[in-house]
Protein backbone atom coordinates (compact mmCIF):
# COMPACT_ATOMS: atom_id res chain seq x y z
CA UNK A 1 0.00 0.00 0.00
CA UNK A 2 1.04 3.60 -0.54
CA UNK A 3 -0.35 6.57 1.38
CA UNK A 4 -0.32 9.95 -0.30
CA UNK A 5 -0.07 12.42 2.55
CA UNK A 6 1.02 15.88 3.64
CA UNK A 7 2.65 16.38 7.06
CA UNK A 8 0.11 17.52 9.63
CA UNK A 9 -2.86 17.29 7.26
CA UNK A 10 -5.90 15.13 7.98
CA UNK A 11 -4.02 12.30 6.27
CA UNK A 12 -2.17 11.86 9.58
CA UNK A 13 -5.23 9.94 10.80
CA UNK A 14 -4.88 7.38 8.01
CA UNK A 15 -1.14 7.27 8.65
CA UNK A 16 -1.91 6.33 12.27
CA UNK A 17 -4.32 3.58 11.17
CA UNK A 18 -1.65 2.12 8.90
CA UNK A 19 0.81 2.12 11.79
CA UNK A 20 -1.79 0.41 13.99
CA UNK A 21 -2.18 -2.33 11.37
CA UNK A 22 1.54 -3.02 11.24
CA UNK A 23 1.45 -4.09 7.60
CA UNK A 24 3.98 -2.89 5.01
CA UNK A 25 3.20 0.44 3.36
CA UNK A 26 5.06 3.40 1.96
CA UNK A 27 4.54 7.13 2.14
CA UNK A 28 4.37 9.50 -0.81
CA UNK A 29 4.70 13.17 0.10
CA UNK A 30 2.24 15.64 -1.39
CA UNK A 31 3.41 19.08 -0.28
CA UNK A 32 0.13 20.99 -0.01
CA UNK A 33 1.87 24.25 0.82
CA UNK A 34 3.70 24.05 -2.50
CA UNK A 35 0.53 23.25 -4.44
CA UNK A 36 1.67 19.72 -5.25
CA UNK A 37 -1.96 18.53 -5.01
CA UNK A 38 -2.73 20.45 -8.20
CA UNK A 39 0.18 19.13 -10.24
CA UNK A 40 -0.44 16.55 -12.98
CA UNK A 41 1.58 13.86 -11.19
CA UNK A 42 -0.75 13.80 -8.20
CA UNK A 43 -3.93 14.59 -10.09
CA UNK A 44 -3.33 11.41 -12.06
CA UNK A 45 -3.62 9.62 -8.71
CA UNK A 46 -6.45 11.70 -7.24
CA UNK A 47 -8.16 14.23 -9.53
CA UNK A 48 -9.85 15.71 -6.44
CA UNK A 49 -6.48 17.31 -5.61
CA UNK A 50 -6.48 16.45 -1.92
CA UNK A 51 -5.06 14.02 0.59
CA UNK A 52 -5.35 11.37 1.83
CA UNK A 53 -5.32 8.98 -1.08
CA UNK A 54 -4.46 5.33 -0.65
CA UNK A 55 -3.03 3.09 -3.35
CA UNK A 56 -4.25 -0.26 -2.07
CA UNK A 57 -1.47 -2.15 -3.79
CA UNK A 58 -3.89 -3.82 -6.22
CA UNK A 59 -3.77 -1.07 -8.83
CA UNK A 60 -6.74 0.77 -7.33
CA UNK A 61 -6.81 4.02 -5.35
CA UNK A 62 -9.22 5.01 -2.60
CA UNK A 63 -9.96 8.62 -1.68
CA UNK A 64 -11.93 10.31 1.16
CA UNK A 65 -10.84 9.78 4.76
CA UNK A 66 -13.96 7.92 6.01
CA UNK A 67 -13.88 5.45 3.13
CA UNK A 68 -10.15 4.76 3.45
CA UNK A 69 -10.48 4.29 7.23
CA UNK A 70 -13.49 1.99 6.79
CA UNK A 71 -11.78 -0.08 4.09
CA UNK A 72 -8.59 -0.51 6.13
CA UNK A 73 -10.59 -1.59 9.17
CA UNK A 74 -12.89 -3.97 7.30
CA UNK A 75 -10.10 -5.55 5.26
CA UNK A 76 -8.05 -6.18 8.41
CA UNK A 77 -10.62 -7.62 10.84
CA UNK A 78 -8.08 -9.08 13.24
CA UNK A 79 -6.89 -5.56 14.05
CA UNK A 80 -10.32 -4.85 15.61
CA UNK A 81 -10.42 -1.22 14.43
CA UNK A 82 -14.17 -1.11 13.82
CA UNK A 83 -17.06 -2.68 15.77
CA UNK A 84 -18.34 -5.96 14.38
CA UNK A 85 -22.03 -5.37 15.21
CA UNK A 86 -24.21 -3.28 12.90
CA UNK A 87 -25.07 -0.64 15.50
CA UNK A 88 -21.44 -0.21 16.53
CA UNK A 89 -20.25 0.06 12.92
CA UNK A 90 -22.96 2.62 12.18
CA UNK A 91 -21.94 4.72 15.19
CA UNK A 92 -18.29 4.53 14.10
CA UNK A 93 -19.19 5.75 10.61
CA UNK A 94 -21.39 8.46 12.13
CA UNK A 95 -18.41 9.79 14.08
CA UNK A 96 -16.11 9.58 11.06
CA UNK A 97 -18.57 11.62 9.04
CA UNK A 98 -19.00 14.24 11.79
CA UNK A 99 -15.26 14.76 12.15
CA UNK A 100 -14.46 14.78 8.44
CA UNK A 101 -17.61 16.40 7.07
CA UNK A 102 -18.36 18.99 9.75
CA UNK A 103 -15.56 19.59 12.25
CA UNK A 104 -12.74 19.57 9.71
CA UNK A 105 -14.18 22.07 7.19
CA UNK A 106 -16.37 24.27 9.37
CA UNK A 107 -14.02 24.56 12.36
CA UNK A 108 -10.52 24.21 10.99
CA UNK A 109 -10.45 24.80 7.24
CA UNK A 110 -12.37 27.97 8.08
CA UNK A 111 -9.45 28.98 10.32
CA UNK A 112 -6.55 27.81 8.19
CA UNK A 113 -7.90 28.83 4.76
CA UNK A 114 -10.31 31.72 5.36
CA UNK A 115 -10.14 32.78 1.70
CA UNK A 116 -12.37 29.80 0.93
CA UNK A 117 -15.12 31.30 3.09
CA UNK A 118 -14.97 34.99 2.27
CA UNK A 119 -13.68 36.99 -0.70
CA UNK A 120 -12.87 40.04 1.42
CA UNK A 121 -9.44 39.88 3.03
CA UNK A 122 -10.60 42.23 5.79
CA UNK A 123 -13.10 39.55 6.81
CA UNK A 124 -10.47 36.81 7.24
CA UNK A 125 -10.20 37.40 11.03
CA UNK A 126 -13.97 36.96 11.33
CA UNK A 127 -13.72 33.64 9.52
CA UNK A 128 -10.97 32.50 11.87
CA UNK A 129 -12.98 33.48 14.94
CA UNK A 130 -16.05 31.72 13.57
CA UNK A 131 -13.96 28.61 13.00
CA UNK A 132 -12.75 28.66 16.60
CA UNK A 133 -16.29 29.16 17.88
CA UNK A 134 -17.47 26.26 15.72
CA UNK A 135 -14.69 24.06 17.08
CA UNK A 136 -15.73 24.79 20.65
CA UNK A 137 -19.37 24.03 19.78
CA UNK A 138 -18.61 20.77 17.97
CA UNK A 139 -16.24 19.56 20.67
CA UNK A 140 -18.88 20.33 23.30
CA UNK A 141 -21.34 18.21 21.30
CA UNK A 142 -18.90 15.28 21.33
CA UNK A 143 -18.20 15.78 25.02
CA UNK A 144 -21.90 15.71 25.90
CA UNK A 145 -22.61 12.64 23.78
CA UNK A 146 -19.47 10.70 24.74
CA UNK A 147 -20.50 7.04 24.91
CA UNK A 148 -17.17 5.29 25.41
CA UNK A 149 -14.52 5.26 28.11
CA UNK A 150 -11.02 6.33 27.15
CA UNK A 151 -11.99 6.09 23.48
CA UNK A 152 -15.05 7.26 21.56
CA UNK A 153 -17.00 4.01 21.32
CA UNK A 154 -18.07 1.64 24.12
CA UNK A 155 -16.33 -1.17 22.20
CA UNK A 156 -12.97 0.58 22.54
CA UNK A 157 -10.35 1.96 20.16
CA UNK A 158 -11.42 2.33 16.53
CA UNK A 159 -10.68 4.25 13.35
CA UNK A 160 -13.02 6.98 14.69
CA UNK A 161 -10.39 7.76 17.32
CA UNK A 162 -7.74 8.31 14.64
CA UNK A 163 -10.10 10.78 12.99
CA UNK A 164 -10.90 12.64 16.19
CA UNK A 165 -7.20 12.82 16.96
CA UNK A 166 -6.29 14.96 13.97
CA UNK A 167 -8.80 17.69 14.83
CA UNK A 168 -7.85 17.55 18.52
CA UNK A 169 -4.20 17.87 17.53
CA UNK A 170 -4.97 20.88 15.33
CA UNK A 171 -7.02 22.46 18.10
CA UNK A 172 -4.21 22.28 20.64
CA UNK A 173 -1.08 22.53 18.50
CA UNK A 174 -2.23 25.00 15.84
CA UNK A 175 -5.24 26.90 17.16
CA UNK A 176 -4.38 27.21 20.83
CA UNK A 177 -7.81 25.96 21.89
CA UNK A 178 -8.66 24.23 25.17
CA UNK A 179 -10.38 20.88 24.82
CA UNK A 180 -13.19 19.78 27.14
CA UNK A 181 -12.14 17.13 29.71
CA UNK A 182 -13.04 13.92 27.86
CA UNK A 183 -11.45 15.12 24.65
CA UNK A 184 -8.34 16.30 26.47
CA UNK A 185 -8.03 12.87 28.08
CA UNK A 186 -8.59 11.27 24.67
CA UNK A 187 -5.83 13.36 23.11
CA UNK A 188 -3.44 12.36 25.91
CA UNK A 189 -4.32 8.68 25.45
CA UNK A 190 -3.78 8.93 21.71
CA UNK A 191 -0.41 10.64 22.12
CA UNK A 192 0.65 7.74 24.38
CA UNK A 193 -0.05 5.13 21.68
CA UNK A 194 3.13 3.90 19.95
CA UNK A 195 1.46 3.96 16.52
CA UNK A 196 0.56 7.64 16.96
CA UNK A 197 4.08 8.46 18.13
CA UNK A 198 5.60 6.69 15.12
CA UNK A 199 3.31 8.47 12.66
CA UNK A 200 3.98 11.90 14.15
CA UNK A 201 7.72 11.29 14.20
CA UNK A 202 7.69 10.17 10.56
CA UNK A 203 5.84 13.36 9.63
CA UNK A 204 8.22 15.55 11.63
CA UNK A 205 5.48 16.69 14.02
CA UNK A 206 5.64 17.46 17.73
CA UNK A 207 4.46 14.80 20.17
pLDDT in tens, 103-146: 999 999 999 999 999 999 999 999 999 999 999 999 999 999 99
What span, in angstroms and rounded, lies between the C-alpha atoms of 92 and 81? 10
User: Residue 165 has what pLDDT?
Assistant: 98
**Is 17 part of any domain?**
yes
Per-residue model confidence (pLDDT) at position 128: 97
Q: Which pTM value belongs to this model?
A: 0.96
92 and 163 fall within a common domain: yes
pLDDT value for 159: 98
Same domain, 95 and 182: yes
Peptide bond into 50 cis (omega under 30): no
pLDDT single digits (tens) 64-101: 999 999 999 999 999 999 999 999 999 999 999 999 99
Quote the domain boundaries for residue 117. 86-193
The whole-chain average pLDDT of the chain stands at 97
* Per-residue confidence (pLDDT) for residue 57, from 0 to 100: 94
- Look up residue 10 and give its DSSP letter: T
For 137, residues 6+ apart whose C-beta sits below 8 A from its C-beta are: none
pLDDT at position 96 is 98
Last residue of one domain, picked from the residues 50, 79, 108: 79
Residue 205, domain member (yes or no): no
**Residues 67, 44 share a domain:** yes
Amino acid sequence: MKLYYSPGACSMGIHIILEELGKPYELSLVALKDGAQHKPEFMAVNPKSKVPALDRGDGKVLTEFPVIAWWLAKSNPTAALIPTDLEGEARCLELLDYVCGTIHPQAFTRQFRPALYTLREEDFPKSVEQGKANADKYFATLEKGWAGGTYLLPSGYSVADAALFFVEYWAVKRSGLTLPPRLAAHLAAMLARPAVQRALTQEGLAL
